[in-house]
Amino acid sequence: MTLPRELSIRNCKLIQQPVKELQALRKQQHEIKDVFHQEKKMYDAFTGHHSK
């Protein structure tokens, strides 16, 4: 999935940012911090299993 982006040049660098219209689609914002537990990275807000 790709998002529409606005392209600009700042200090000779190409900058990509989501178009401003996407802000209207955003819902509640969550901040998630990672925590290491027994050599695994854990996230309090997410649960599940990863298959290898």
* Cβ–Cβ under 8 Å, residues 18 and 3: yes
pLDDT tens for 18-35 read: 999 988 888 887 776 666
pLDDT of 17 > 70? The answer is yes
Max Cα distance, the chain (Å): 44
pLDDT of 7 > 60? The answer is yes
Residue 8: pLDDT band (50, 70, 90) is very high
Arithmetic mean of pLDDT over the chain: 78
